[in-house]
A and B are shown apart, each in its own frame.
Chain A
Amino acid sequence: MATEQSDTQSWQRPTAFYNRYVKWVVYVVIGAFLLWSAWNMRISPARAAQGWTAAAELLGGMFPPEFTPFKTDLLVQGLIESLAMSVVATIIGVILSIPVAFMAAENIAPKPVYWVGRGIITVSRAFHELIIAIIAVKAVGIGALAGVIALSYKTVGFFAKLLAEDIEDIDAGQMEAVEATGANQTQTMLFGVVPQVMPRVVGLTIYRWDINIRHSTIVGIVGAGGIGSTLLNSFDKYDYDFFLTIVLAIIAIVMVGEFVSTYIRGRIQ
């Protein structure tokens, strides 16, 4: 192979690794880690077979889904609360995120401001919404307010991070040209930056709303309002028929949310 090459031709097939020894070491380490993990979890076929019958029993108990007027009322109430939470949390979250995104964009923010912005984003992204929801429920009591707080908080981490990355990718020339007219910094942002990221702001808002719909169905499990509370209640009462109704309703509403989101984002890009 290499013998045919003269000394002046040093090209070799590119590799993702430093050299072929490193490559084999990496493969061996990955394989060993996989085996160790499987051994460590003690996954046994007997256990899986045992669970299978319990699962079948549970699923059997769910049929048929229940649609009595009383339960339907509960369901609709829960869904409306979840939807309302997702809308309010998205609006509050986005309003809070936009200034944070500008702070966290390396190309326009001074270094200290940039680190503060990045810090806010990291803290927001560090915790799962359920953890925030638990804290919010302790703080403001059981109900939708706690859910709105948890979802708004999570929106900041997501929205500001992605928007900041988009601001970092703008065409600096457009911003520079506005600056060269004698515009102040805020005016430069308004004319030189905002128009460039506006489609992204709209797209991300819709996308985050879609995510918030899904998350609003889960935070109820820790008492933060919405359909999740109804879901947990039904499960605790062994009311598996109603449980299935709620699950189907959640799937329906998430699908509708995703459809609307895809449609709107398709239109603006």
Chain B
Amino acid sequence: MLSVTDLQKTYSSGDEALKGVSLEVTGNETVAVIGPSGAGKSTFIRCINRLTEPSGGSVELDGLEVTDLSGKKLRNARRDMGMIFQEFNLVERLTVMENVLSGRLGYVSTWEAFRRKFGGDDVGRAYEVLDRVGLEGHENDRADELSGGQRQRVGIARAILQRPKILLVDEPTSSLDPETSRAVMELLTEIAADDDIPVLINIHEVNLAEEYADRIVGLRNGQKVFEGTPEGLDETARGQIYRGEEIPEETGPKQSSAEETAEDAATQEGALRRG
């Protein structure tokens, strides 16, 4: 379970990217974070595994406070968080298999990594994972020979070979065409269900978020302005997220106990508007 409390990030330029965002992700749910460019979506997800250092707040993964860790302990925490990137971020000149196996780097010694000597079990699982993402037979191709969709599948394979407790996904579809985007989103939700892990996705295509997410979080100017089901994401909510419209009392950022009723209200309101 991932629990983020009051996460803040101010860049050295003085730019306040996150102004205290809280979020809980549990079970095997798919949570989509949407918002306009510059809302802090990427910063948020990168602060969770500390590729970007948060300036305040707390991130807990299964009760372990991640923001205090350093060295070996931080690396061990990162092993439990699989990350998938917008630009795939594969090591272009390495083979697909080496890229996938790099997901196990946290578990082998440096010397073994240098000699590409991963445990027999790791290689076997890498083959299984490649099978699962639909890349069987590509293990010896170099990463830069693949198409965009195939590359993102390698990125996903690398993340799931870590056997993570959560998947952090940063704009997985922005570099892909609509067809491939759907296939990638399907694959991600499928993994969430099969491996019973939660998936936290940054995404700017709202229709994909509505279609695949169990829950949607809206960020604007580093603040959470919406949280609810895809059905609850009505015109009012969109207005708040994308145009910064005033937040009416009854549909404001919904929290715990108020969530149920507020969602219902929002759904009805949305239905009325659509009707």
Within the complex, what minimum Cβ distance (angstroms) separates A47 from chain B?
Answer: 58
Looking at A108-116, A135-143, A186-194, A254-262, the stretch in contact with chain B turns out to be A186-194
State whether the Cβ of B206 lies closer than 8 Å to any Cβ in chain A: no
Q: Which one of B78, B90, B93, B114 contacts A181 once the chains associate, using CB atoms below 8 Å?
A: B78
Cβ–Cβ < 8 Å partners of B105 in chain A: 178, 181-184, 187, 191
**Contact indicator per residue, chain A 15-48, by CB within 8 Å of chain B (1) or not (0):** 0000000000000000000000000000000000
Docked CA distance A266–B24 (Å): 54
Contact B91 A191 (CB under 8 A): yes
Give the docked Cα–Cα distance between A266 and B33 (Å): 47
The complex places the Cα of A179 from the Cα of B162 at a distance, in Å, of 13
**What residues on A are CB-neighbors of B110 within 8 Å?**
184, 186-187, 190
Identify which of B51, B90, B91 contacts A180 (C-beta below 8 A): B51
Question: Which of A174, A176, A181, A199 meets B103, CB within 8 Å?
Answer: A181
For the complex, give the distance between the alpha carbons of A71 and B113 in Å. 54
Find out whether the CB atom of A173 lies under 8 angstroms from the CB atom of B94. no
Please tell me which one of the listed residues A174, A182, A184, A199 contacts residue B91 in the complex, with CB atoms under 8 A apart.
A174
Most buried by B among A173, A181, A198: A181
Residue of chain B at shortest CB distance from A198 = B93
A195 CB within 8 Å of chain B: yes
**CA of A179 to CA of B77, assembled, Å:** 12
Interface flag for A177 (CB, 8 Å): yes
- B261 close to chain A: CB less than 8 A: no
Residues in B whose Cβ lies below 8 Å from that of A191: 91, 94, 98, 102, 105, 113
B81 within 8 A of A: yes
Contact between chains at A180 and B75 (CB < 8 Å)? no
- Check if A196 sits within 8 Å of B93, measured CB to CB: yes
Interface residues of A in 132-185 (CB under 8 A from B): 171, 173-174, 176-184
**Known contacts A173-B85, A173-B89, A176-B51; A182 and B79 CB within 8 A of each other:** yes
**B87 touches A (CB below 8 Å):** yes
A14 CA to B242 CA, complexed, in Å:
40
Given contacts A173-B85, A191-B105, contact A181 B91 (CB under 8 A): no
Is B102 a contact partner of A182 (Cβ separation < 8 A)?
A: no
Mark A195-207 against chain B: 1 for CB-CB distance below 8 A, else 0: 1101100000000
A153 to chain B, nearest CB (A): 28
Instruction: Identify A196's interface contact among B85, B92, B158, CB under 8 A.
Output: B92
Determine which of B76, B92, B94, B155 lies in contact with A182 in the assembled complex, contact meaning CB atoms within 8 Å.
B76
A176–B103 Cα gap in the complex (Å)?
A: 12
Complex interface: chain A residues within 8 A of B76 (CB): 182
> Which chain B residues border A180 with CB–CB below 8 Å?
49, 51, 78, 81, 83
Whether A181 touches B158, Cβ cut-off 8 Å, given contacts A173-B85, A174-B92, is yes
Most chain A CB inside 10 Å of its own CB: which residue of B91, B114, B155: B91
**Which A residues touch B148, using CB under 8 A?**
none
**What is the CB-to-nearest-CB distance from B114 to chain A, in angstroms, rounded to a whole number?**
6
Residues of chain A within 8 A (CB-CB) of B85 are 173, 176-177
- What is the bound-complex CA distance between A142 and B74, given in angstroms? 55
B102 CB contacts on chain A under 8 angstroms = 177-178, 181, 183, 191
Q: A189: nearest residue on chain B (CB-CB)?
A: B110
- Contacts of A173 on B, CB cut-off 8 Å? 85, 87, 89
Provide the residues of chain A in CB contact with B103, threshold 8 Å.
181
Closest to B86 in A: A173
- Inside 8 A of A183's CB, which chain B residues have their CB? 75, 102, 105-106, 113
Minimal Cβ-Cβ distance residue in A for B110: A186
Q: Are A177 and B83 in contact (CB under 8 A)?
A: yes
| Chain A residues within an 8 Å CB radius of B98 | 191
How distant is the Cα of A162 from the Cα of B104 in the complex, in angstroms?
32
Closest A residue to B92 using CB positions:
A174
* Most-contacted residue by chain B among A182, A195, A199 (CB, 10 A): A182
Given A183-B105, A187-B105, A191-B102; A178-B91 close (CB under 8 Å): yes
Q: Which residues of A contact B89 (CB under 8 A)?
A: 171, 173-174, 176-177
Whether B79 contacts A187 by the Cβ 8 Å rule is: no
Q: Which residues of B contact A190 (CB under 8 A)?
A: 110, 113-114
- Can you pick out 6 interface pairs between chain A and chain B where the beta carbons lie within 8 Å of each other? A173-B85, A180-B49, A181-B102, A182-B162, A187-B110, A187-B113
Top 7 closest pairs, chain A to chain B, by CB: A182-B106, A182-B79, A183-B105, A177-B89, A182-B78, A173-B89, A195-B93
**20 extra A-B contacts, CB within 8 A, seeds A181-B78, A182-B77:** A174-B90, A176-B89, A177-B155, A177-B158, A178-B91, A179-B51, A180-B81, A181-B82, A181-B103, A181-B105, A181-B158, A182-B79, A184-B75, A186-B110, A187-B113, A190-B114, A191-B98, A195-B92, A196-B91, A196-B92
